[in-house]
Amino acid sequence: MATNTSVISPTEVAAKARHQERILGTHFWNPPYLIPLVEVVRGRETSEEAMEITYQVMKNAGKHPIKVMKDAPGFVANRLQHALWREAISIVENGIADAATVDEAVKNSFAIRLPVLGPLENADMVGLDMTLAIHDYILKYIESSPSPSPILREKVEKGELGFKTGQGFQTWSAEEADRSRRNLLEYLLDWVQRERGKTT
């Protein structure tokens, strides 16, 4: 039995089950018909057999599964995504740049490399000695709060929820929100077509 939760522990889901060794996580990323990743997440009691069978089922279905070998909140990709979001929100909250500028900086710099250069591959490329030197300097300045940002909490309390209300970190007309969604869908469709072209 597999749960599609994006953050909840499969171990917790399996807690009252008779056969906990047969329960695991399969986190599909949205939209699942375009995003290839599926995180196959081992619960505390999940058997190796259940992990391997599920991994192969996902591969046979045309997905790109990864094995998450330890049940940790947020698994792999959401932990990475929300670490980036935390720092992005902190930059806005501390007046370093506004929300549009933060998004512009990401879209026009390292985001362009990410489809072909993962963060640890990038660290190896620049050299771990350089990575260590940078971290020795910069990590103390990067947001490390274990609590959500006060500005995020304040916006939610004020009903500024993003696209659905027209106001979030930025102001969104219905047309602008639709354009953003359409841009994402068109980009993903184009990416899928290119990837299929590589295999034919």
Residues 6+ apart with CB under 8 A from 46: 10, 14, 20, 21, 22, 23, 24
Of residues 82, 83, 54, the one with CA closest to residue 67: 54
6 is catalytic: yes
Q: From CA 138, how far away is CA 155, in angstroms rounded?
A: 28
Among the listed residues 47, 78, 143, 160, the single catalytic one is: 78
User: 1 with 54: CB under 8 angstroms?
Assistant: no
Among the listed residues 4, 9, 12, 27, the single catalytic one is: 27
94 is catalytic: no
Among the listed residues 6, 47, 93, 143, the single catalytic one is: 6
Alpha helix ranges (H) inside 67-173: 77-93, 99-107, 110-113, 119-126, 128-138, 150-157
135 is catalytic: no
Among the listed residues 9, 39, 45, 90, the single catalytic one is: 39
39 is catalytic: yes
Q: Annotated active-site positions, please?
A: 6, 27, 39, 78
